[in-house]
């Protein structure tokens, strides 16, 4: 299962040890790490990325959810919740606002976290490794990407268009032009809804393909390492 894992440490030394332990679990085949970042929180609550890596092939990012999640850290989710940008970032994280808030309660100023987008079959390997170093583990499964249109929005827009067209048939010529402008605007909005859905679907397909590539590459590398060990 694809998950976002956040491991909060008291200091930078432990955080980097945690990062190394996480990547070792990846090399052992216990998990797959798609992307990670080591992030410090400053006294004023802002965040600084100390180190990060995305293992996507040929520049194809697999850690899109991680990138959007990092953009939310260090901000007040209660303030962002009323802004369009916050909603857009939350959609791209494939996480709920409650998880962002949960992380914010533990990821306090002067602490440092290892944040990773991973695939894991069970939670014990990560939990045991991180807790041994003193890390506090938080995780959440990544939701499915919403790649369809919002049917309620589409229905509402179409209803508005139908009402305006009905009204257009009953008014004078000077008023018809103004109503047509509103109809054109709504039809453009409707086209944009469908285009966004197509864009999300294509992005999700590219990300899924990139993750399959990452898993195959790591599997092949593990087999090579095993054959070398056996020969030795």
**pLDDT tens string 195-215:** 777 776 776 667 667 776 776
Confidence band (pLDDT; 50, 70, 90) for 57? low
* Spatial contact of 102 and 138, defined as CB atoms under 8 Å apart: yes
* Spatial contact of 147 and 204, defined as CB atoms under 8 Å apart: yes
Pair type for strands 31-41 and 136-141: unpaired
What pLDDT was estimated at residue 38?
A: 95
State yes or no: pLDDT of 225 exceeds 70: no
The Cα–Cα gap between 168 and 162 comes to: 10
The Cα–Cα gap between 145 and 150 comes to: 13
What pLDDT was estimated at residue 83?
A: 45
Confidence band (pLDDT; 50, 70, 90) for 16? very high
* Spatial contact of 51 and 19, defined as CB atoms under 8 Å apart: yes
How far apart, in Å, are the Cα atoms of 113 and each of 40, 81, 92, 191?
A: 6, 23, 21, 41
Domain-wise residue ranges, the chain: 2-142, 151-201
CB atoms within 10 A of CB 120: 19
Residue with tokens 């009323």: 82
- Burial environment of residue 57 by CB neighbours within 10 A (0 to 12, 13 to 18, 19 or more): middle
State yes or no: pLDDT of 76 exceeds 80: no
């Amino acid at each position: 299962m694809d998950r976002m894992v956040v491991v909060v440490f008291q200091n930078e030394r432990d955080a980097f040890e945690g990062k190394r332990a996480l990547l070792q679990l990846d090399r052992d085949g216990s998990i797959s790490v798609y992307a990670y970042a080591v992030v410090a929180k400053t006294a004023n609550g802002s965040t600084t990325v100390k180190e990060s890596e995305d293992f996507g092939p040929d520049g194809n990012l697999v850690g899109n959810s991680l990138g959007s999640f990092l953009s939310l850290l260090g901000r007040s989710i209660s303030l962002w919740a009323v802004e369009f940008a916050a909603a857009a970032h939350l959609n791209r994280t494939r996480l709920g606002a409650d998880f962002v808030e949960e992380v914010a309660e533990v990821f306090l100023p002067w602490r440092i976290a290892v944040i990773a987008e991973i695939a894991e079959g069970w939670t014990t390997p990560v939990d045991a490794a991180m807790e041994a170093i003193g890390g506090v583990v938080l995780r959440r499964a990544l939701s499915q990407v919403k790649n369809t249109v919002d049917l309620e929005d589409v229905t509402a827009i179409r209803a508005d268009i139908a009402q305006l067209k009905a009204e257009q048939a009953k008014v004078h010529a000077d008023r018809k032009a103004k109503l047509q402008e509103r109809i054109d605007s709504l039809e453009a909005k409707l086209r944009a809804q469908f285009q966004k859905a197509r864009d999300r679907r294509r992005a999700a397909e590219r990300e899924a393909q990139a993750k399959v590539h990452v898993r195959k590459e790591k599997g092949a590398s593990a087999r090579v390492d095993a054959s070398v060990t056996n020969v030795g």
